[in-house]
Amino acid sequence: MSILGKLFGLGGPESDAVKVLPVKDFIEGMKNKKAQLVDVRTPNEFRQGHYKNAENIDFFDRINFDKKLEKLDKNRPVYLYCRSGMRSNKAAKKLAQMGFQEIYDLSGGYR
């Protein structure tokens, strides 16, 4: 990863637990009954449209973000998305640090 990528949190995942998926594969994976679908956008963005059965855990809500992530089941796959892929990438790294083993991030985000 480049120096700029490290400074600004850009670049790919740093854990084998995180997989970045194209839209088609992400949507197919969401169909898994065990999947936990998490939208890390703001509540306003979420209201403008989201995937069915997604849980909104606002990345910018620093007070509740970590608490809500901790309530997710580490034994089930987590599918993350945001608007462009930046917030979900950071959330995926956070989940990997928390011990989650199966994390899928939507490439390019919900746009």
Q: Which listed residue (38, 80, 82, 106) is catalytic?
A: 82
Which residue, among 54, 60, 58, has the nearest Cα to 79 in the 3D structure? 54
Hey, is 26 helix, strand or coil? helix
Q: In what order do the strands lie in the sheet with 18-21?
A: 18-21, 103-106, 78-81, 36-39, 55-56
Q: How many CB atoms lie within 10 A of CB 76?
A: 14
> Can 82 be counted among the known catalytic residues?
yes
The catalytic residue positions are 82
